[in-house]
Structure formats: structure tokens, C-alpha cells
Amino acid sequence: MENFVTISGCSGGGKSKLLQELRQRGFATIAEPGRRIVAEELRRSGRALPWVDAQAFARRAIEVSLADLMVADTSARWVFFDRGLIDAAGALGHLTGERVVESLGLLHRYNKRVFLAPPWPEIYAPDQERRHSLAEAVGEYDRLVDVYLRLGYDVHVLPKVTVAERANWVLALLAR
């Protein structure tokens, strides 16, 4: 869908803060599938966690991302996704070698512009739901750049500026 915009990139790069800013400005947003899954799995002592069973986590993220696409408001001017299907499929492909990115990524399209948060060591911080290192986050970022470019998306790297300035930058690019 042309009004479905993905904000992706490096873990700890400020994606969620940007989505919060866009939500405060009245735009529809979809929370990151991975964080929702981790919170649910921790509550119920589940195993579909990236540090316990990364494949199960990635498969669950695909399911959640597909469900998000089904319920997202197609009539909204813009719907901003904190990560999404491409990220989940890319993770599963990286872990297993399965070619899910190509099949799912071509079948379920987002706006051609994707916004990627670059590695930003100054703001990166692990937490209860983000337990991997910055080096692992950078590796994930590099894989995401490759995946989005292979699928024909126009990759726009978010500038390292304030959250409000980032939101203005994204909205200006989308207005073109």
C-alpha cells in the first residue's frame, strides 16, 4: 500500500521515538512487532524470544506483521510501521537461508520509500527487550539495507538530528 510507510534500521537508532512523534502529530502508527512479541513471551514465560529461539521469534514476527497489514487503516493519509514484514522475513532468511524475503516482500509492498535509522552509538542502550550488542545491531542494519535495496525500495537514511527534525524530514520527503 502506498500509504504504508516503514521506519526500520538499526536497533536503538531512535525508531520508536520517531514513531511516537508521528503519532503525537496525528498519524496512524503500528508498534514494532518484535517488542510486542518479546513482552508477550516474557509475560507467559514463552520461548519465541530472539535470545532463546530466534527462528520461532522471526516466524512469529512474520505472523504479527501480516496481521498488522490486515488491520492497518488503508484510508489513512500515512500509516507508519515501526519495522514490519520485510524486517521479519529478512531475519528469518538470515537465520535459515529460506527465501521468504523474496516471496513475502514482493507480495506485500509498503510505500517505495523506506526510512532507516542508522547505527547511533551515542543513543544505543540495551534493555529488557533489546539484549543484543551494538555490533549485532549494526550487522542487522547492514542486512536490512541490503534487503530493502534488493526489493527495489528507495532507502532514505534518517539524519542524526532531534526527533522533531527527523519527523519533519520524513514528512517532507513523503510530500514530494
Q: How many CB atoms lie within 10 A of CB 42?
A: 12
Q: What percent of the chain has pLDDT over 90?
A: 68
First-last CA distance in the chain? 17
Report whether pLDDT(28) > 80. yes
Q: Which of 81-90, 96-105, 123-132, 146-155 comes out lowest in average pLDDT?
A: 123-132
In this structure, the number of other CB atoms found within 10 A of the CB of residue 115 comes to 23
Topology of domain 4-175 in CATH is: Rossmann fold (3.40.50)
Read off the pLDDT band of 108 (50, 70, 90): confident
Question: In the predicted model, is pLDDT for residue 39 greater than 80?
Answer: yes
pTM of the model: 0.90
Length of the chain: 176
- What residue segments make up the domains of the chain, in order of their start? 4-175
130: confidence class by pLDDT, cuts 50, 70, 90: low
What whole-number distance in Å separates Cα of residue 16 and Cα of residue 8? 10
Q: What phi-psi label fits residue 152: left (phi over 0), alpha (psi between -120 and 50 degrees) or beta? A: left
As a whole number, the mean pLDDT across the chain is 89
